[in-house]
Amino acid sequence: MKAIVLKGYGGFDELRYEEAPTPEPGYGEVLIRNHATGVNHCDTDVRRGIFGVAQSFPHVMGVDSAGTVEAVGPGVTAFKPGDRVAPHFLLSCGTCRNCLRGRENICLKGEVLGVTTWGTYAEFTKVRENNVVRLPDGLGFAEAVAAQVPFATAWEALIDVGRLQVGETVLINAAGSGVGSAGIQVAKLAGAHVIATTGSDEKFAAARALGADEVLNYATTNIGEAVYGLTGGLGVDIAFDMVGGDRLLDCVAATADGGRIVTVGAHAGEQVEIDMIEFFRKHISMHGCGRSTRAIVSTVLDLVAQDKLKPVIFKTFDLAEAGAAQEVMESRNFFGRMVMLPEGKE
């Protein structure tokens, strides 16, 4: 099969489009032909060697895709060749204590597709049957892969963990990112008033088009003061952060007394010094999350198929153009998601 094969950590020139062995499905495993593959920040972290989990080389990265079942191994009963599916990036074991309690997102033996195993930057990807999600009828492959990780992440953070309620006010950081653009839509679907932040005025119109009621530029604005001005001095009920660093501090400053913060990432700074006096006096609760379940993925994909949520695709690339796609990702000069097409653009 054709794949982007990583021979070692480094720059974009380490992403080599070449032949690699096609995986063979074993017992309980499903081989997926990828029709669309996503580009994620964790992919760039893997390439650079800063994800925090060592890879053995050669390695194929990529945490998400959408396609069709090419073949199944012995013992597979839920899927057959031709079924439209997507792999779930969190490879749960299905048998540990947490999996049996329905908490596969904190599986005690979990692995991560494209990080600890070969992933989706390839024509084919192999996963266990219990890590496959069926796609709704009528949902395109590019739309499915553009939606899966961002909307599932936003849904878990805002709905499952944050318990966002109708009429609450929510702050969404990094509105131009895949997860940020998804968070705006999930919050609006839940009936919330949305204040979004971005580092570029050029992204304001796109954020408003997705449903943001107000948009602030965190590079030129004191977010805490601006949010208190917009909310009559109350602050937001819930703040959704996916970048860490100073943006997480914006959330603390902007959150109302008794408010919640949900955080799913830290690309802008993993070590954050928080004023704990402000934190406990405001009775803020903060929840770490970012690992969805297959049930959440199915929920959001159904909503996308019903046109209630809409993934934002910034640009599509051929798989061979993975370096260019990752370069756009690292530039942050985009709004939405990059999608790669292993079979080439039509």
Kindly report, residue by residue over 8-57, the tens digit of the pLDDT: 999 999 999 999 999 999 999 999 999 999 999 899 999 999 988 999 99
Q: What is the DSSP string of 229-292?
A: HHTTT--EEEEEESS-HHHHHHHHHHEEEEEEEEE---TT-S-----HHHHHHTT-EEEE----
Tens of pLDDT, residue by residue over 71-91, are 999 999 999 999 999 999 999
Single out the residue of 183, 196, 207 nearest to residue 335, CA to CA.
Answer: 207
- Which domains can be identified in the chain, with CATH numbers? 2-134+312-341 (3.90.180.10), 150-288 (3.40.50.720)
**Residue 167 burial (CB count, 10 A):** 10
User: Residue 344 — pLDDT band, cuts 50, 70, 90?
Assistant: confident
pLDDT-derived band at 345, boundaries 50, 70, 90: low
